[in-house]
């Protein structure tokens, strides 16, 4: 019996973009516009995830006003979904709608087309299934709308979707903040490697399809890395779920306001689905709380500014220029410790990555008194006390205590 091949895989946090000689003197010089498909142009390469606690009418409108594209989720009756998309279209703005691969996908796609959706998004957890390829081929031949399809995590998966008729391929299996596929199913590809593989394979196949990097983005730096790696846009879920326009319920707690958010493969989401009944043997998502972030325009504006700053280090005034001659540097564990504020200073930043480091190597905290607080976290991650010199964090059934 042949043994499985083993290859290396990289996530966004495993690399940095190597600075280049640059003539860009201001972030305002950087143009982030992109064409995802004929008749589908964005001035901001950010799309909103098709999750019921992320993208419905209000967020789709707010994101479109910033130049991005919201994808209204499919976990509700087709008429209700089409109405949400139509309310965005009636304002002269762009919104897309997602469809699955179960019976009824064609009628849902027709309703979205009638509502003037900017794109149809064939959206399933594993887009490299024969059934998904058949659905993509059907949609491509039936509707005169840009077609986005996914998700895949390999170059061949991207090529097969493009050959089936997808104008844009969505890449990402398991990297999302609310997704547990990699832990539950043991399947996936680290996201940076998945994007690089997809982009390279599509180019080698002369496929005229763009790429959306879906999942794994925790900051503007991650967006910059995804775009430099060849993605034409990113899809955000967790980073948008705490905004005022997201449909999640606001929860008041002693430490502040939060919004309820959840992955669409979670048991909680399945229990409230109205599009169809589905028995889940093992859920591949979680529900949790995301700190309230305020208006989407502020959140997205800050992300865009960070991406423009990253491109200025590459010497690029456009996405394509930023990629030209770009080099990624693989960072060591020691180098990772020195990313962001460090040296014993209490800051607000990305505490989730620190806790994940603890999951892999609890001894990390032996020499660190830094406490970094993430803007987004989800169950089973929970902050157990107020910021102080000594902090306890529970991770599932484990409790980490660290400090001086």
Residue 378 counted as domain residue: yes
Same domain, 65 and 191: yes
Give residue 394's pLDDT band: very low, low, confident or very high (50, 70, 90).
very low
Of 282, 301, 328, the one marking the end of a domain is 328
pLDDT at 37: 97
pLDDT at 238: 86
From 132, 168, 179, 314, active-site residue: 179
In terms of Cβ atoms closer than 10 Å to its own Cβ (0-12, 13-18, 19+), residue 8 is: exposed
Specify whether 179 is catalytic. Answer: yes
pLDDT tens-digit series, residues 255-306 = 788 877 655 443 343 445 454 544 545 554 445 677 888 999 999 999 999 9
- Residue 30 tokens read as 């950087």
Of 282, 307, 328, the one marking the end of a domain is 328
Average pLDDT of the residues of the chain: 82
pLDDT tens-digit series, residues 323-382 = 999 999 999 887 776 676 555 443 444 333 333 333 334 444 444 433 333 333 333 333
pLDDT at 403: 46
Residue 262 counted as domain residue: no
Same domain, 353 and 310: no
Same domain, 316 and 365: no
| Sequence-ordered strand ranges (E) for 109-242 | 119-123, 147-152, 168-171, 210-214, 233-236
Tally of domains within the chain = 2
Q: For the residues 166-185, what does the mean pLDDT come to?
A: 78
Give residue 254's pLDDT band: very low, low, confident or very high (50, 70, 90).
confident
pLDDT tens-digit series, residues 34-48 = 999 999 999 999 999
Same domain, 82 and 67: yes
Residue 36 counted as domain residue: yes
For 355, the domain range is 334-402
Specify whether 181 is catalytic. Answer: yes
Same domain, 111 and 244: yes
pLDDT at 200: 98
Residue 279 counted as domain residue: no
From 181, 193, 290, 376, active-site residue: 181
pLDDT at 64: 98
Of 133, 91, 147, 134, nearest in space to 115 by CA = 91
Same domain, 27 and 113: yes
Q: Is the pLDDT of residue 395 over 60?
A: no
Same domain, 241 and 347: no
Residue 387 counted as domain residue: yes
Same domain, 321 and 348: no
Of 306, 328, 350, the one marking the end of a domain is 328
* CATH number, position 229: 3.20.20.70
């Amino acid at each position: 019996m042949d043994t499985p091949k083993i290859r290396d895989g990289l996530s966004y946090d495993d690399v940095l973009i190597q600075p280049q000689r640059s003539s860009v003197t201001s972030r305002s010089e950087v143009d982030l516009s992109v064409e995802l498909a004929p008749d589908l142009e964005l001035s901001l390469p950010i799309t909103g995830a098709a999750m019921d606690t992320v993208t419905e009418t209000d967020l789709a409108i707010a994101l479109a006003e910033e130049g991005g594209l919201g994808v209204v989720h499919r976990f509700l009756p087709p008429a209700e979904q089409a109405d949400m998309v139509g309310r965005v279209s009636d304002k002269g703005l762009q919104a897309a709608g997602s469809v699955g691969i179960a019976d009824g996908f064609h009628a849902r796609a027709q309703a979205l087309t009638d509502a003037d959706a900017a794109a149809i998004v064939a959206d399933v957890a594993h887009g490299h299934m024969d059934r998904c390829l058949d659905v993509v081929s059907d949609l491509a031949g039936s509707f005169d709308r840009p077609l986005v399809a996914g998700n895949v995590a390999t170059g061949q998966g991207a090529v097969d979707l493009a050959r089936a008729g997808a104008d844009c391929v969505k890449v990402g299996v398991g990297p999302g903040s609310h997704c547990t596929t990699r832990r539950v199913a043991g399947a996936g590809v680290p996201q940076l490697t998945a994007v690089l593989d997809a982009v390279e394979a599509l180019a080698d196949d002369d496929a005229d399809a763009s790429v959306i990097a879906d999942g794994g983005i925790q900051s503007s730096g991650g967006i910059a890395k995804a775009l430099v790696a060849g993605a034409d846009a990113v899809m955000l879920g967790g980073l948008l779920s705490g905004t005022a326009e997201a449909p999640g319920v606001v929860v008041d707690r002693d430490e502040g306001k939060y919004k309820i958010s959840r992955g669409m493969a979670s048991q909680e989401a399945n229990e409230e689905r109205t599009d169809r009944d589905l028995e889940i043997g093992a859920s591949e998502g979680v529900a949790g709380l995301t700190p309230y972030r305020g208006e989407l325009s502020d959140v997205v504006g800050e992300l865009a500014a960070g991406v423009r700053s990253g491109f200025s280090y590459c010497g690029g005034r456009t996405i394509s220029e930023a990629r030209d001659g770009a080099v990624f540097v693989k960072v060591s564990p020691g180098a990772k410790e020195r990313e962001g504020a460090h040296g014993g200073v209490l800051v607000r930043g990305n505490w989730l990555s620190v806790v994940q480091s603890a999951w892999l190597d609890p001894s990390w905290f032996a020499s660190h008194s830094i406490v970094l607080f993430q803007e987004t976290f989800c169950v089973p991650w929970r902050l157990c006390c107020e910021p102080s010199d000594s902090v306890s964090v529970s991770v599932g059934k484990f409790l980490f205590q660290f400090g001086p």
